[in-house]
Amino acid sequence: MNRRFFIRRAAVGGGLLLLPGLATALPRRDRRITILHTNDWHSRIDPFPDDGTRNANQGGAVRRAALIRRIRGAEPNVLLLDSGDVFQGTAYFNFFLGELEMKLMSQMGYDACTIGNHDFDGGIENLATQLKKASFPMLNANYDLSGTPLSDLVAPYRVFDKDGIRVGVFGLGIELEGLVPSELYGSTTYQDPIARGNETALHLRQRLKCDLVICLSHLGYRYRDEKVSDVTLAAASRHIDLILGGHTHTFLDEPVEVPNAAGEPVVINQVGFAGLRLGRLDITFGGPGDRGCVSCSNLRV
Amino acid sequence: MNYRLLPLAGLLLTALACGRPLTDPVTQPRLYPITEDTRVDESLTANAAMEATITPYREELANLLNRVVAEVATPLTKGQPESSLGNWAADLTLAAARELFPDKHVSFAVQNYGGLRVAEIGAGDLTVSQLYELMPFDNQLVLVEVNGQELLDFVDHTLSDGGWPVSEGLTAVRHDGTVTIRVEGRPVDPTATYYIAVPDYVANGGSDASMLAGRKQYASGQLVRDLLIEQAGRAPGPITVVSDGSRIKLNDR
């Protein structure tokens, strides 16, 4: 399959948002999926307090749920994903240890998430306890979790079938040493995200015949030094189509394209933090040989 | 905005982006009204279900979190190399440490930059909830015993990271790579012993402060957040903090 993408148009929604496309109807029925994503929610259950600061009254789980519900009402194939750091940031986490976050994400119909460094903040046992309350899987392909409470709860990847479109989703996490106290992540061991990412993406593409390969990354968008990031991962990859990132709380106004090892564009997106934005990518699949088009809108919540 | 022109723009963009004729599969144009307040035009049932999930949790915390601790006169903002929010949090940490360790001379306090989790605290009532959001981590305050050289290495690390929040008692200037550090107005003696107050996360080497890991620690048994709540509540009047760059200066070309 030809998996070249281009970004058609991006906008931070406010007021009316127009999804791009041609005014004239096409004779052929194109299959389409809509990917919605968040990152670094950080337990922001309620909108920001009404204190006159920049984000006052914005965000909040109820508003996000309303937005997601509306898009589901209009689109046939929606995949809802999160790139980690769901936990830690408001007193809801200090007192309820992530239980409410898991319940709300289940209610919103999340399809998958990945592990952020702060998801270990209540300890690895607590993460396991809370995950059991979730109706969606947590994915990670570069932490060796064998012998930890997460070993049976976290899978490297999951394949979703949406209207015949096979979407492979996998997760990558950041180096924990020096970032998270070791007693919190226990015997979890970090493996090279580029090696494990390429291996997993290849498996999804060739063995499992995925039309679209998505990496949920908590590596961070980009660094000044050579630390591995979404940008370095994209450049070193061959079979990843989309990287939905997190960790650096980067508000991208629109997704970024980075050429992979074969010179084909990889699309990277990240939507800040705290549930202030909902990322949206619409991807169409035509007949064989047709390229998929990505149009993106990072919506204000 | 003229929406009729947008398909045309889309066409143009398609042609430019792909370098291919206009035969690509495309989505139908569709308008989504994204209003400022997404609650207004959503069906009540969806909101009711979400609200019903949240309400018991919110109510359980309401009494604790909505308590007003102090009044903020001028917004406190977070920034590097130093900032009003950073100076305020570090000064409160130092005040708490001096009370908790009366028999030690605490030179200064440091918070890691990433440990302050809000960009700004607005003017008006300061609630317990906002201090949880400022400092959500359950880190304890500890004193670390270091020699002067270790102190210099640690401060150097905070400068390399763009400048961390520091209390009164410490000044650090980096001018074209040359760092000048003074503690309580005096140069640092590399062999002397100093006590500095930091969250245990930092004392244990977090945020790459590996030079502190393994040094002698004195535990306070108190959470940094709880100490901030207590100290903030003792403000004699509405809080105004001046950050004039006199603590941390980075003058690199």
Domain ranges of chain A: 31-46+56-300
Q: B185 vs chain A: nearest CA distance in angstroms?
A: 32
Query: Among the listed ranges A5-9, B113-117, B131-135, B234-238, which one has the minimum average pLDDT value?
Result: A5-9
**Per-residue pLDDT at B21 exceeds 60:** no
What is the mean pLDDT of the segment spanning A177-195? 95
| Pick from B3, B13, B210: CB nearest A18 | B3
Q: Do A22 and B65 touch (CB under 8 A)?
A: no
Q: Render A61-129 in DSSP notation, one character per residue.
A: HHHHHHHHHHHHHH-S-EEEEE-S--S-SSHHHHHHTTHHHHHHHHHHT--EEE--GGGGTT-HHHHHH
Query: Among the listed ranges A146-155, A260-269, B40-49, which one has the minimum average pLDDT value?
Result: B40-49
What digits encode the pLDDT tens for the residues A4-51? 455 544 333 332 333 333 333 344 567 889 999 999 999 999 999 888
Domains of chain B: 79-116+139-222+241-251 (3.90.780.10)
Q: Report the 10 Å Cβ neighbour count for A147.
A: 11
Q: Do B54 and A23 touch (CB under 8 A)?
A: no
Q: A151 vs chain B: nearest CA distance in angstroms?
A: 26
CB B217 within 8 A of CB B139: no
pLDDT bracket for residue B9 (50, 70, 90): very low
How far apart CA A166 and CA A208 sit, in angstroms, is 9
What digits encode the pLDDT tens for the residues A238-269? 999 999 999 999 998 888 889 999 998 899 99
Q: Which of B137, B27, B141 is nearest to B94 (CA)?
A: B141
Mean confidence (pLDDT) of chain B: 85
Query: Among the listed ranges A116-130, B25-39, B50-64, B234-248, which one has the minimum average pLDDT value?
Result: B25-39
- Higher-pLDDT residue of A234 and B24 is A234
CB B197 within 8 A of CB B165: no
Q: A266 vs chain B: nearest CA distance in angstroms?
A: 14
pLDDT of residue A5: 53
CB B91 within 8 A of CB B247: no
What is the mean pLDDT of the segment spanning B227-239? 96
pLDDT of residue B16: 37
Q: Which of B:112-171 have CB within 8 Å of A? A: 117, 119-124, 127-130, 132-133, 136-138
Partners of residue B223 on adjacent β-strands: B140
ipTM score of complex: 0.87
Q: Is B39 on the interface with A (CB under 8 A)?
A: yes
pLDDT of residue A288: 58
* Domain over A31-46+56-300 is classified CATH 3.40.50.300: no
The distance in angstroms from the start CA to the end CA of chain A is 35
Q: Is B79 on the interface with A (CB under 8 A)?
A: no
**Per-residue pLDDT at B207 exceeds 80:** yes
Taking one residue from A and the other from B, the number of pairs with CB-CB distance under 8 angstroms is 195
Search chain A and give the residue with CA nearest B203.
Answer: A181
Chain B residues with CB inside 8 Å of A291's CB?
Answer: 18, 24-25
- Any idea of the CA torsion for B240, A273, B66, A134, to the nearest 10 degrees? -160
Chosen for mutation from A18, A33, A135 (greatest number of chain B CBs closer than 10 Å) is A18
- Give the pTM: 0.84
How far apart CA A142 and CA A173 sit, in angstroms, is 7
Sequence-distant (≥ 6) Cβ neighbours of residue A267 within 8 angstroms? A5, A7, A241, A242, A243, A255, A256, A257, A281, A294, A296
pLDDT of residue A3: 43
pLDDT of residue A53: 87
Sequence-distant (≥ 6) Cβ neighbours of residue A224 within 8 angstroms? none
How far apart CA A226 and CA A228 sit, in angstroms, is 6
| DSSP at B114 | G
| Pick from A13, A69, A71: CB nearest B46 | A69
Chain B residues with CB inside 8 Å of A45's CB?
Answer: 54, 57-58
CA dist B166 → A129, A189, B81, B148, B156 (Å): 37, 34, 10, 17, 13
Residues of chain A by 3-state class (helix, strand, coil), percent to 5: 25, 25, 50
Search chain A and give the residue with CA nearest B12.
Answer: A8
Residue B36 CB-density burial (10 A; 0-12 exposed, 13-18 middle, 19+ buried): exposed
Residues of chain B by 3-state class (helix, strand, coil), percent to 5: 35, 25, 40
pLDDT bracket for residue B39 (50, 70, 90): very low
Q: Do A100 and B54 touch (CB under 8 A)?
A: yes
Chosen for mutation from B4, B18, B23, B53 (greatest number of chain A CBs closer than 10 Å) is B53
Residue A262 CB-density burial (10 A; 0-12 exposed, 13-18 middle, 19+ buried): exposed
Q: Report the 10 Å Cβ neighbour count for A138.
A: 24
Three-class HEC string of B195-249 = EEEEEHHHHCCHHHCCCCCCCEEEEEEEEHHHHHHHHHCCCCCCECCCCCCCCEE
What digits encode the pLDDT tens for the residues B174-202? 998 899 999 999 999 999 999 999 999 99
pLDDT of residue B125: 95
Q: Report the 10 Å Cβ neighbour count for B68.
A: 12
What is the mean pLDDT of the segment spanning B230-239? 96
Chain A residues with CB inside 8 Å of B11's CB?
Answer: 22
Chosen for mutation from A2, A3, A22, A46 (greatest number of chain B CBs closer than 10 Å) is A22
Search chain B and give the residue with CA nearest A101.
Answer: B54
The distance in angstroms from the start CA to the end CA of chain B is 44
**Per-residue pLDDT at A195 exceeds 90:** yes
Share of chain B above pLDDT 90, in %: 77
Sequence-distant (≥ 6) Cβ neighbours of residue A26 within 8 angstroms? B25, B26
Mean confidence (pLDDT) of chain A: 88
Share of chain B above pLDDT 70, in %: 81
Is the N-terminal amide bond of A20 cis, ω within 30° of 0? no
Q: Is B7 on the interface with A (CB under 8 A)?
A: yes
CB B53 within 8 A of CB A65: no
| DSSP at A5 | -
Q: Which residue type is seen at B217? A: Q
Q: Do A49 and B130 touch (CB under 8 A)?
A: yes
Chain A residues with CB inside 8 Å of B17's CB?
Answer: 6-8
What digits encode the pLDDT tens for the residues B49-82? 899 999 999 999 999 999 999 999 999 999 999 9
The encoded tokens of residue A96 equal 């309820």
How far apart CA A73 and CA A65 sit, in angstroms, is 12
Strand B106-109 and strand B120-121: the pairing is unpaired
β-sheet with B216-223: strand ranges across: B106-109, B193-199, B140-147, B216-223
pLDDT bracket for residue A153 (50, 70, 90): very high
